[in-house]
């Protein structure tokens, strides 16, 4: 197969797709276009592991690999418009490029608080350059305010405390990770952060944010004032849908795609953080996931389908977070559960099995030191994919091996 495949977005998703089309035997042009000056890299280490030595970029592949594979990486550029009829994209430098197939892997951008757009000491964490700015602003004797008690904020708090930074974390909800993990796991995370010296302020709205030469001033809704050298906003992300919407593609909580990562235009595909897709495992329920594994796998699936190799995306959602020596993992969609069964493990670790209204296992989550729960969560992924209906007493008992439930 020859022609031109253009991939808009040079993150993990786009890079995996570019290499995957080559591995599938595609002989035409492959153009990988991204706004960052860096070659594609992994984002999780920016918040999860940046406390270990100096902050370094972890590339998906080295430059030589792109050259050998015949992948043209165009950095520092954006795709600004798409003409689906003419199969043409316009780049931010004014160039017009034609494509046979187009993949939108344009990701998402951090959500901001009104009035903070031009503040230099109020940052977000999405890119390597963002991480460098944050790293330069923290350390012994420095004060960091984090707005948002989600994964990014909490991982950054753990990193900053390891670097002896004073941390205040401000969350508007009654608990941490309210939209992401069960309360039992969130309480363990909160307790650990408080133990490590993080000031956690829950149910705390923000009235104003300002800055001057001395730092950042945050006034809370209850009148309290927080002063910091640096503030980081971590209140979620917005999918980058603008060019897709302007081109007339269907939008539904992201760029809407089908099981094959295909948009409403047969020659345009989307994958990763920017798209919403139906989950086979959950009877076609449409979701949008900001997940390292999802971005990687969807890029590879999109590559196959762009080449006419019909391959549905059938992944089970999976996410992990490292904070201090704790790792939490989630498989499936806990929000669909009506009942939870708890299994106690050694060293204070535990698993939560989330059951739907018919007793089907729809999700599992757990927390423990190191990789204590990793194998069990992987087996739970397989049970979820198999639409298993395990007995509650078996789930609760540590003596029942999950592998035996899978065999059954």
Three state DSSP letters for 359-392: CCEEEEEEEEECCCCHHHHHHHHHHHHCCCCCCH
Is the CB of residue 71 less than 8 Å from the CB of residue 19? yes
Q: What does the alpha-carbon distance between residue 30 and residue 113 come to, in Å, rounded to a whole number?
A: 38
Find, among 227, 233, 182, the residue nearest to 342 by Cα: 182
CA pseudo-torsion sign 127, 130, 132, 135: negative
**Per-domain residue ranges of the chain:** 4-107+237-306, 112-233, 325-407
Find, among 207, 219, 254, the residue nearest to 109 by Cα: 254
Beta-bridged to residue 29, according to DSSP, are: 4
User: SS3 string of the chain?
Assistant: CCCEEEEECCCHHHHHHHHHHHHCCCCCEEEEEECCCCCCECCCHHHHCCCCCCCCCCECCCHHHHHHHCEEEEECCCEEEEECCCCEEEECCCCEEECCEEEECCCEEECCCCCCCCCCCEEECCCHHHHHHHHHHCCCCCEEEEECCCHHHHHHHHHHHHCCCEEEEECCCCCCCCCCCCHHHHHHHHHHHHHCCCEEECCCCEEEEEEECCEEEEEECCCCEEEECEEEECCCEEECCHHHHHCCCCECCCEECCCCCECCCCCEEECHHHEEEEEHHHCCEEECCCCHHHHHHHHHHHHHHHCCCCCCCCCCCEEEEEECCEEEEEEECHHHCCEEEEEECHHHCEEEEEECCCCCEEEEEEEEECCCCHHHHHHHHHHHHCCCCCCHHHHHCCCCCHHHHHHC
Q: Which CATH class is domain 4-107+237-306?
A: alpha beta
Say how many CA atoms lie within 13 Å of 329 toward its Cβ.
Answer: 23
Region 112-233: CATH code:
3.50.50.60
**Per CATH, the architecture of 325-407 is what?**
2-Layer Sandwich (3.30)
- pLDDT of 53: 55
- From first to last of its 408 residues, what are the pLDDT tens digits of the chain? 789 999 999 999 999 999 999 999 999 999 999 999 899 999 888 887 655 556 778 899 998 999 999 999 999 999 999 999 999 999 999 999 999 999 999 999 999 999 999 999 999 999 999 999 999 999 999 999 999 999 999 999 999 999 999 999 999 999 999 988 999 999 999 999 999 999 999 999 999 999 999 899 999 999 999 999 999 999 999 999 999 999 999 999 999 999 999 999 999 999 999 999 999 899 899 999 999 999 999 999 999 999 999 999 999 999 999 999 999 999 999 999 999 999 999 888 999 999 999 999 999 999 999 888 999 999 999 999 999 999 999 999 999 999 999 887
Phi, then psi, of 73 in degrees rounded to 5? -95, 120
> Do the domains 112-233 and 4-107+237-306 match in fold?
yes
Q: What does the alpha-carbon distance between residue 384 and residue 283 come to, in Å, rounded to a whole number?
A: 12
- pLDDT of 121: 96
Q: What does the alpha-carbon distance between residue 39 and residue 41 come to, in Å, rounded to a whole number?
A: 6
- pLDDT of 51: 53
- pLDDT of 408: 77
């Amino acid at each position: 197969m020859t022609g031109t495949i253009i991939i808009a977005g040079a993150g993990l998703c786009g890079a995996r797709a570019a290499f995957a089309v080559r591995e599938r035997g595609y002989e035409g042009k492959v153009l990988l276009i991204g706004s960052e000056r860096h070659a594609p890299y992994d984002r999780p280490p920016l918040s999860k592991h940046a406390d270990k030595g100096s902050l370094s970029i972890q590339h998906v592949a080295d430059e030589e690999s792109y050259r050998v594979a015949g992948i043209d990486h165009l950095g520092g550029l954006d795709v600004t418009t798409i003409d689906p009829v003419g199969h043409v994209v316009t780049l931010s430098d004014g160039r017009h490029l034609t494509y046979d197939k187009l993949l939108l892997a344009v990701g998402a951008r951090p959500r901001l608080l009104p009035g903070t757009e031009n503040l230099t000491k109020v940052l977000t964490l999405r890119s390597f350059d963002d991480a460098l700015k944050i790293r330069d602003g923290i350390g012994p004797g420095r004060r960091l305010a984090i707005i948002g008690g989600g994964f990014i904020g909490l991982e950054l708090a753990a990193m900053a405390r390891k670097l002896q930074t004073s941390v205040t974390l401000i969350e508007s909800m009654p608990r941490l990770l309210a939209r992401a993990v069960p309360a039992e796991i969130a309480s363990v995370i909160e307790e650990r952060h408080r133990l490590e010296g993080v000031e956690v302020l829950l149910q705390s709205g923000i009235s104003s944010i300002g800055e001057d030469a001395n730092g950042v001033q945050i006034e809370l809704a209850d009148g309290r004032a927080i002063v910091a050298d640096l503030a980081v906003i971590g209140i979620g992300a917005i999918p980058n849908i603008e060019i897709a919407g302007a081109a007339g593609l269907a939008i539904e909580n992201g760029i809407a795609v089908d099981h094959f990562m295909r948009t409403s235009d047969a020659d345009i595909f989307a994958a990763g953080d920017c798209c919403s897709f139906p989950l086979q495992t959950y009877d076609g329920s449409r979701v949008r996931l900001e997940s390292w594994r999802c971005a990687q796998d969807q890029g590879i699936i999109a590559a196959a389908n762009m080449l006419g190799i019909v391959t549905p995306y059938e992944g089970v959602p999976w996410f992990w977070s490292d904070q201090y020596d704790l790792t939490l993992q989630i498989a499936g969609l806990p929000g669909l559960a009506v009942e939870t069964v708890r299994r106690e493990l050694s060293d204070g670790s535990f698993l939560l099995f989330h059951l739907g209204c018919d007793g089907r296992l729809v999700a599992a989550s757990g927390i423990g030191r190191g990789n204590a729960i990793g194998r069990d969560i992987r087996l739970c992924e397989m049970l979820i994919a198999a639409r298993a209906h395990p007995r509650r007493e078996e789930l609760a008992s540590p003596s029942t091996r999950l592998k035996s439930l899978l065999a059954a």
